[in-house]
Amino acid sequence: MIATIQYRSKKLQIDLSKPIDISMPLQASKKNVNAWYIGPPRIEPVVEGDWIASVKEGASINFNNIYFNPHAHGTHTECVGHITERPYSVNKKLKQFFFLAEVITVAPEKLKDDFVISKKQLQFAIGNKKREAIVIRTIPNTKEKLYAQYSHTNPPYLLEDAAIYLREKGVQHLLVDLPSIDKEKDDGMLLAHRAFWNIEGSLRKHATITEFIFVPNSVVDDIYILNLQIASFENDATPSKPILYKIENT
């Protein structure tokens, strides 16, 4: 099914039958991707006395509770409320869901004991392009990212100047295949988050950061339409399902 999207003065066509899902599924397993020093997600049937809400256990329905943390257990989208004293809900701030996006691939650079994404790398990858969303795939890009246990591993992250560059380019939505755009242990400085949301200036309340995506190697670096789907949680972050669509008439 071909759909036409009006973007500024252009009509862009996408095939709705060919979605590219770049989210990670959440599963009740120690193999579920994980970060931030907590246990795996749990999906468990409700228990009331002798009654277990599982068809396997004799009930007429499956009726599960799910225990997870959006920041630690998979693909999630967060707003500025993640780092502000005043609460902001991503469900209230994200009100548009289709964006012009650029997928770029970056090999994080060695910086002392870290691997980082720099402003120079982003400038090279993005160039003069103007995009509402930037999707960053890091290499090496293996399926191990789907079940990696990131706690105490010092994963790659964005330098502050890289986040400032994206903000100044007008990027509203940043998507990365990392557990965070900031260094795992940075004494709470959160330099990239603070820079992207412009904490010291005019707060970018409608800008979002999506972490823990996975972009398959079959997806080429190019321009796409991004459908940023979120669950309706009144929270700073929510599980999300970003979908890319190839533009058919470029």
**In DSSP terms, which residues pair with 211 in a beta bridge?**
76
**Residue ranges of the chain with per-residue pLDDT less than 50:** none
Write down the pLDDT at residue 133: 98
**In DSSP terms, which residues pair with 245 in a beta bridge?**
225
Write down the pLDDT at residue 67: 98
- 32 Rama sector, left if φ>0, alpha if ψ -120 to 50, beta otherwise: beta
Q: Are 175 and 132 in contact (CB under 8 A)?
A: no
Cα–Cα distance between 207 and 162 in angstroms, integer? 16
Beta strands in the chain (DSSP E): 2-7, 10-15, 20-21, 42-45, 47-48, 51-52, 64-67, 76-78, 98-106, 109-111, 114-117, 133-138, 157-158, 173-176, 208-211, 223-230, 237-246
* pLDDT tens digits, 190-204: 999 999 999 999 999
Q: Other CB atoms closer than 10 Å to residue 99's CB: what's the count?
A: 20
Q: Are 214 and 177 in contact (CB under 8 A)?
A: yes
DSSP state letter for 247: B
Amino acid type, 230: I
Write down the pLDDT at residue 8: 79
Write down the pLDDT at residue 183: 98
Write down the pLDDT at residue 137: 98
**Maximum Cα–Cα distance for the chain, whole Å?**
64
Write down the pLDDT at residue 182: 98
> In CATH, which superfamily holds the domain spanning 2-26+70-246?
Putative cyclase (3.50.30.50)
Residues sharing a CB contact under 8 Å with residue 36, sequence separation 6 or more, in sequence order: 69, 71, 72, 150, 151, 179
Buried b (16+ CB within 10 A) or exposed e, 194-215: bbbbbeeeeebebbbbbbbbbb
Domain residue ranges in the chain = 2-26+70-246
Assessment of whether the complete model's pTM goes beyond 0.85: yes
List phi, psi (to 5°) of 172.
-95, -25
